[in-house]
Amino acid sequence: VSGDANTDVYVEGLTVQNGVADAGGGVYVVGAAVTLKDCIVQNNTSPIGGGLANQGNASESVTLIGCTFVGNSSLTDSGQGGAVNLYACELAMANCTISGNAARQGGGLYLDGVRAGLSHLTVAFNAVSGTQATGGGIRFASMHTESTMENTLVVKNTSTGSFPNVAGTAPT
């Protein structure tokens, strides 16, 4: 999904599956404001964001509503964000399920420099492995990540390293 600060993209009810890419195995956001509603992102793979990733442009925003991320992976040596990897953007995520994803860091979500509002999520049964394994469920990778999290369940994630559920600066 590519655009500029004036580009709004809305996708509803789409299944994105079996993608392979250098970044964002299922969905890759470049410079646009993207909303995914009631979408399924499954069985995708990439070194950065197995299911979804962005370029890291401050004009980007990602809104995920009622989406399911399952079976995505980012398992290269430095793989980040099995389901979602976002950098330096805005994220609003509500009523989503992130389950059964795998990475080296951030088995479910890997957020770096992101202003995130996380609400009514289930982040469970994701895994991280390897020498830098941390944040089986969620990895907040930067002290500059400003996030709020409410009514969110982060449980039963695993790590061969540290912090099986949440790693990094805790959201308020």
From CA 163, how far away is CA 145, in angstroms rounded? Answer: 18
Which residues have C-beta within 8 Å of that of residue 71, sequence separation ≥ 6?
Answer: 42, 43, 100, 101
- Segment 32-51 mean pLDDT: 97
List, for residues 65-100, the tens digit of each pLDDT value: 999 999 999 999 889 999 999 999 999 999 999 999
**Integer angstrom CA distances of residue 55 from 60, 109, 152:** 8, 16, 26
Task: Answer yes or no: is pLDDT of 108 > 70.
Answer: yes
Arithmetic mean of pLDDT, 1-29: 91
pLDDT at position 59? 78
* pLDDT above 90 for 1: no
Q: Is 98 exposed, middle or buried (0-12, 13-18, 19+ CB in 10 A)?
A: buried
